[in-house]
Amino acid sequence: MRSLLALSRLIDAINERVGQAVMWVTLIVVFISAGNAVVRKVWHTSSNAWLEVQWYLFGAIFLLAAGYTLLRNEHVRVDILASKLSQRKQIYIEIFGVLFFLLPMAIWIMWLSWPMFMDSYLTNEQSSNAGGLVRWPVKLLIPVGFFLLVLAGISHLIKCIGFLAGRCPDPRDRGDGPTAEEVLAAEIAREAAERGTGAPVDAIAVTDTTRQGSR
């Protein structure tokens, strides 16, 4: 079990590095998107190459960060029924979902996308748009992204088994801080309350209330 947990930590470190890199890619996409809009509106011109760079990086954000998102437990969960079960039963459901849904889906898509990438690479496929870019790099993102998701799924599975064996904490635990959904809900509630009463509302208190209500 110790070696498996070491493997899990290695996988998590890889996805953590990728996730940190994708954060910078997000900033780059914002600048490129803003630059494309300014050039198009001010000088009435455009570049298919820069537009496609924007699309490629946008795809990279979602594909490469899928494993990082699973590591951070930020994927959408519909656990209305599971949340009423004990913690150990929830972990058993988690293991079932990883083994029979997450991993088969991710491995299958990774397997199917590889020939598509190889065909594009060997033929040096080019964009059909004038001045566009070569296509194989963006197609490579598909198998790479799902490979990272497979790794994250394996790491999550190891940590679930480790929890059942009493060797590690619940891998679904996000810590004591508010989640992204709770922060958003608190912000929406705060703005709604301010519009209704005209008085400022403590966002932290609203967040705490939201967390208690979600439980």
pLDDT score of 24: 92
For residue 72, the tally of other CB atoms under 10 A from its CB is: 16
* 116-171 pLDDT, tens digit each: 999 999 999 988 888 788 999 999 999 999 999 999 999 999 999 998 888 888 88
Residue whose structure tokens are 């972990």: 91
Going by the DSSP 8-state scheme, the letter that residue 129 receives in this structure is S
C-alpha of 70 from chain center = 6
pLDDT score of 1: 79
CA–CA distance, 146 with 152 (Å, rounded to integer): 10
What percent of the chain stands above pLDDT 70? 87
Evaluate whether 15 touches 71 at the Cβ level (below 8 Å): yes
CA–CA distance, 30 with 35 (Å, rounded to integer): 8
* 27-61 pLDDT, tens digit each: 999 999 898 889 888 888 778 888 889 889 999 99
* 75-124 pLDDT, tens digit each: 877 777 877 888 888 899 899 999 999 999 999 999 999 999 999 999 99
Evaluate whether 207 touches 213 at the Cβ level (below 8 Å): no
- Residue 5 pLDDT > 60, yes or no? yes
| Mean predicted confidence (pLDDT) in 66-78 | 86
Evaluate whether 148 touches 66 at the Cβ level (below 8 Å): yes
pLDDT score of 197: 59
For residue 210, the tally of other CB atoms under 10 A from its CB is: 20
**How many helices (H) and strands (E) would you count in the chain?**
8, 0
Evaluate whether 43 touches 197 at the Cβ level (below 8 Å): no
CA–CA distance, 168 with 175 (Å, rounded to integer): 14
CA–CA distance, 176 with 173 (Å, rounded to integer): 9
Evaluate whether 174 touches 73 at the Cβ level (below 8 Å): yes
pLDDT score of 214: 46
Radius of gyration, alpha carbons of the chain = 22
The packing angle between helices 48-64 and 136-164, to 10°, is 10
